[in-house]
Structure 1
């Protein structure tokens, strides 16, 4: 770092911090991207190194040039050329650009994307925040955190990457994709920056229609792009492409191989714990929430769309703020008026299909988990979570207000879903009962001041549903269930008043307990109430 003089902080996010700096040797300005290793898994660090490896080989006037990269014991530092503005900032201030101002930016972006694809690199996260404008008003593509260098034998990808607002339909529909996913994102950016519905030329309209074809097979290809009247003659093409650039039309034989890969590849919705940009996700979730409130339920009635919304629940880098918005959005159809019961039932079926409850529970575990180098590399898998075995969890005093709010919203939604439909319970109903007995026993043992709540549950004091049938529990074939039932009775006997205990006691319970004195399971024999 001695070669650089830091001037000011430009921005920060889940990736780290970016500083404006000056090179000591010649006083030229550079950007320093500083990424802390501390709370990142080995897999994430390997990904960061891969990003550097991809970017250092890219040399094009419309791609931010990486000048240097190095590591310290605690940080990875990437040094790039400095650009003065973000396209996102310009659009935030001005709202839109005239077509006359937008067209040079379009030329630059097409030039940058053509260069990447000619080198078999997919960017996979095109958005205004990743487009910089330098002092000469040239647009430059940056941030290659999600970029993928495709080997010559690979024709489609299956891992989800990118920002929901700019994500191609084939990704949302969980289909294998290729370079045309980048072209869709480019179309979204062009559409966003141009003023509508004022005059827009026919050339611009036809170019956008070509980029924003929902079916990637019908989407405009590189031959058509380079010969389109909007950009023809204005694209800066370098001559150093690879032997098999993605910009070249495929042979019939290669097309057959590509189609076979599409059929063979299973879509991998969770490839790694990639960074989650909090503000971008909140904008996406807020817009989705507005649609649902206004009666447009598509995002919650189609599993592939709902899966996009649910995906942050499985990511270790998701902030509590995003979790709050996810839980709120998924709860909206059950709290607003005007939603038919038929629609709500359809939404519940989708929630079952995307395994919403296991994902919600898993997200709460991730939120409570104390991150360490050992457990941060664990693969997020709600259905086969290693967290309960290998992870330690925060004390309640260490939780922030946002942590507590997110947990509240998550478990309110879980409670509602389970109350509305037993299908949301674990398929292993026996395990649910065993776990519930463990929770109730723990409450009695550690927080006996909550005895009144336990009494309401066990004695059915509100006359709702059935009271606990201890005979059925104690006579069950599962030894762990019998053991937990004995433990629970033991602590009930300690804290419940004699009068209320009499309400649970009868001759059948007594005979069952006496029989357990000779049970084949030693742990049941040793912990029964008769030992006291």
Structure 2
């Protein structure tokens, strides 16, 4: 670094930071791309080195020239030529470009891609942010973090790379792809330059997948015929029909101005038509990949959605790591006055959970009108977008609460003391319980991005649209942050509330609810919620091997709110289906959550709903799966003073807690008799007798049953 004098910070992104600097000897202005190694896997570091190696070998006027690269103990530094502006910033400022303005940039990009593809290099992340412009307005491609150099024998690739809004349909479908995927992305950039938005625009990745798969592109009527023909050629969803080499740079729209280096002598350039033998080899590779996918029972759409979401999470996590906001919707697009809207903050209430929503913009394109997306936004206030709030004191799911669903003594035909013949709790493996392997290294997520996405998903459910919530890939994507130590408490809270909504919305039919429950069961939603509970109660130095957790009295409001949401969702699920209850018992045992739950049911003063929800779950375990009574014992009876804790629960001012505590004691007297007898005392007996005259009729009814036992 001694060779360079840093002038100032230019920007931050998924890669790290970019600084403007001077070479001390020559005073030449350069860009220093500084990438921190900390928090990256060895595979990621190797990928960064590969990026440097690819870029080092490139030499073209429309590709950012790499001057040098070196490493320190903690960083990788890449030195390139300096460009002040990027296309993304220009479009944010201008909204769109006139056709003659855009043409020069298009010609430069086509020239750069011809050079890359001639050298069998795929960029795989073409987007406006990766198009820089120098002081003369010459466009240059940058950021080769996802670039791949294809060997001579490789004709197609399969790994999903790139930014979703600019991703080709074949990548979305997880089909084998080639250099034509770059040409689709080029088409998206050109479309955005001329229209103001990409061909498909949404905040939802799942919705984006559906749009790319099923929706036709809207073509404006204000473009020249040659320009529109050029765009239609690039944006063919079938890559076999897409405008490609060697015809692309000869298209009339480009007016024969594309610079093509005739001195390139690569053995098998991607810019030449394939010979018959090469075409056959390419088709064979495709078929082999498809056969392997079929043999493994790979479902393309769910897999691709998950892979895209994983890619997007990695990008926003890295941007978060570097202190920068990230968004699936990569530009703050200027919107048409009839299409865009802004939502002002307002509150949802799910059970006793309060969610404060965040402002966001959703842009729509309607290019058929011939009007570019340029103008004022329309702002709706909270009243115009009002959503009915739920004000539930107790879980209002479509299963009978345990107070009114308790089995009679005659119906309970279980052993008086399960401890005499205990059964194993953890029958499932961690791999089975967590189909999406938990992220055991802290990977921060972009909180606002996720909150906006989850809020929109909740609005869909409120409005009766259950398509997403019934989709397995959607649930897999939504629950992924629950197992990520980098997820914020608010994100966990919103996810739990979204998952709970079908249980409290009257418009959800029993058949629809059963379908949703099946998706939740297959997605191991309970396991993910319990993993989130572990993360919320873990020390900051959480690791997979450690089990250190915080003093619950020190938990912040956001953490407690998230835990309340998790506890409410858990109570809904376990009362709805015994399979959820079984999963709960398994995962609590596997993740060693007994002491954490024990601590949480002491939060009577801070968060009474957390206590009442988990006490309800413990009661349900004893009623329906009494073979797991030892799990309840470990949670309730292994604290320093279990008798005192039970006393506080029975005498609490909250009638729901008093009622459920009575029921818990009644069931423990049946199935945990020996262990409970150790801690039974006169104070507990007096508490039960007092509750027989409680002001709440429900408490009195349950207490009478408990005293009879």
Q: TM-score, normalised by structure 1?
A: 0.74
In structure 1, distance between residues paired with 2:178 and 2:613 = 55
Q: Which has the higher mean CA deviation after the structures are superposed, 146-155 or 412-421?
A: 412-421
Q: Is the 8 A contact 2:479 2:525 kept in 1?
A: no
**2:545 aligned residue (386, 389, 392):** 389
Change in 2 beyond 3 A, CA 1:256/1:160: closer
Q: Which residue in 1 is equivalent to 2:268?
A: 244
1:431 aligns with 2:586: yes
Q: Which residue in 2 is equivalent to 1:378?
A: none
Q: Which residue in 1 is equivalent to 2:329?
A: 283
User: Deviation at 1:508?
Assistant: 7.3
Change in 2 beyond 3 A, CA 1:445/1:246: same
User: Deviation at 1:27?
Assistant: 1.2
Q: Is the 8 A contact 1:364 1:410 kept in 2?
A: no
Q: Is the 8 A contact 2:249 2:258 kept in 1?
A: yes
Q: Which residue in 2 is equivalent to 1:384?
A: none
In structure 2, distance between residues paired with 1:484 and 1:470 = 13
In structure 2, distance between residues paired with 1:410 and 1:506 = 30
1:495 aligns with 2:645: yes
In structure 2, distance between residues paired with 1:206 and 1:433 = 60
Change in 2 beyond 3 A, CA 1:29/1:369: farther
Q: Is the 8 A contact 1:291 1:297 kept in 2?
A: no
Q: Which residue in 1 is equivalent to 2:92?
A: 92
Change in 2 beyond 3 A, CA 1:350/1:61: farther
User: Deviation at 1:331?
Assistant: 6.3
User: Deviation at 1:95?
Assistant: 0.3
Q: Is the 8 A contact 2:464 2:507 kept in 1?
A: no
**1:418 aligned residue (548, 551, 573):** 573
User: Deviation at 1:233?
Assistant: 2.0
Q: Which has the higher mean CA deviation after the structures are superposed, 129-138 or 42-51?
A: 42-51
The Cα offsets for residues 298-345 of structure 1, whole Å up to 9 and x where unpaired, read as 983795973895497399697649957984996698599997658787
Q: Which residue in 1 is equivalent to 2:249?
A: 226
Q: Which residue in 1 is equivalent to 2:474?
A: 306
Change in 2 beyond 3 A, CA 1:283/1:59: same
Task: Give the root-mean-square deviation of aligned CA atoms.
Answer: 4.8
Q: How many aligned positions are there?
A: 490
In structure 1, distance between residues paired with 2:496 and 2:66 = 41
In structure 2, distance between residues paired with 1:221 and 1:189 = 16
User: Deviation at 1:85?
Assistant: 0.4
Structure 2: give runs of 5+ residues left out of the alignment.
Answer: 197-219, 294-302, 331-359, 363-451, 651-661, 678-709
Secondary structure at the residue paired with 1:8?
A: strand
Q: How does 1:368-517 map to 2 (within 5 A)?
A: 388-389=544-545, 404=559, 407=562, 411=566, 415=570, 418=573, 422=577, 425=580, 428=583, 430-432=585-587, 434=589, 439=593, 442-444=596-598, 448=602, 450=604, 456=612, 469=622, 473=626, 476=627, 481=628, 483-488=630-635, 490-491=637-638, 492-493=642-643, 495-497=645-647, 503-504=666-667, 510=673
In structure 2, distance between residues paired with 1:427 and 1:468 = 9
Q: Which residue in 1 is equivalent to 2:393?
A: none
Change in 2 beyond 3 A, CA 1:356/1:506: closer
In structure 2, distance between residues paired with 1:335 and 1:458 = 18
In structure 1, distance between residues paired with 2:523 and 2:665 = 46
User: Deviation at 1:503?
Assistant: 3.9
Structure 1: give runs of 5+ residues left out of the alignment.
Answer: 376-386, 515-532
Secondary structure at the residue paired with 1:242?
A: coil
Change in 2 beyond 3 A, CA 1:137/1:505: closer
The Cα offsets for residues 459-517 of structure 1, whole Å up to 9 and x where unpaired, read as 86xxx9966537963xx3xxxx4543443463444532499597456577647999xxx
In structure 1, distance between residues paired with 2:518 and 2:176 = 25
Change in 2 beyond 3 A, CA 1:174/1:413: farther
Q: Is the 8 A contact 2:633 2:675 kept in 1?
A: no
Q: Is the 8 A contact 2:475 2:520 kept in 1?
A: no
Secondary structure at the residue paired with 1:300?
A: coil
User: Deviation at 1:24?
Assistant: 1.2
User: Deviation at 1:25?
Assistant: 1.5
User: Deviation at 1:422?
Assistant: 3.9
Q: Is the 8 A contact 1:107 1:234 kept in 2?
A: yes
Change in 2 beyond 3 A, CA 1:513/1:389: same
1:259 aligns with 2:277: no
In structure 2, distance between residues paired with 1:327 and 1:457 = 17
User: Deviation at 1:113?
Assistant: 1.4
1:143 aligns with 2:143: yes
